[in-house]
Amino acid sequence: MRYTVDVPGPRQPYPLTVRGLRDLAVVYVDGERAGVLTEEEPRLKEPVAGPARVELWVESLGRVNYGPRLGEAKGVTGGILHERQFLHGVRARGLDLDAFEDGVAAVPFGALPAEGAPGLYRGTVTVRGAGDARLELPGRTRGFVWVNGFNLGRFWSAGPQRSLYVPGPVLREGGNEVWLLELDGGAPDRPAPRLLPV
């Protein structure tokens, strides 16, 4: 989910806090990455001056299915504050991962960055003897992977998984397209992803 809001200005730098944040938010201020917020750490380390455009990319990390938090709301549930003032005019837009394939044709792909950076990466892997496999993503931090338009799922260096299962019918003999949406950046000297037979 992407939330956008404008900090009015001119205004001196004040702390930016997200109340009632569920899960994890990557924050951009005027297009520059400003930090990662969680429910436990909902305030940016550096203050934000106005005027500024703030974007929060909030990732849902799952749902609670027992106990007192059963059925909890997701996203930003309490508002965005600049110092003690609520910011109004927050807009929210969902990213439909099922419709991801249709929108990728419009994405301009370029050369790989010199160091690990968040973004959408695209590549191909040649397969001989297609069958069940696993995809290892060493050095990648957090994101999603598609093979031939099929969403394999989420990866996160925090674990517990070390690879993603690739069902045999998803692969084809010869070239296979792999898309990797890296949300955190990963290590700059990371090795290439590996597709291994199961």
Q: Which domain holds residue 154?
A: 116-197
Residues 63 and 131 in one domain: no
The answer to the question of residue 102 being in a domain is no
| 7 and 67 co-located in one domain | yes
Q: pLDDT confidence of 186, banded at 50, 70, 90?
A: low
Mean pLDDT value of segment 83-104: 80
Predicted TM-score (pTM) of the model is 0.76
Decide if 111 is inside a domain: no
Instruction: Encode pLDDT of 11-57 as tens digits.
Output: 999 999 999 998 899 999 999 999 999 999 999 999 999 999 999 99
The number of CA neighbours under 13 Å toward the Cβ of 43 is 9
- Asked if 81 and 126 sit in the same domain, the reply is no
Name the domain count of the chain. 2
Same domain, 69 and 127: no
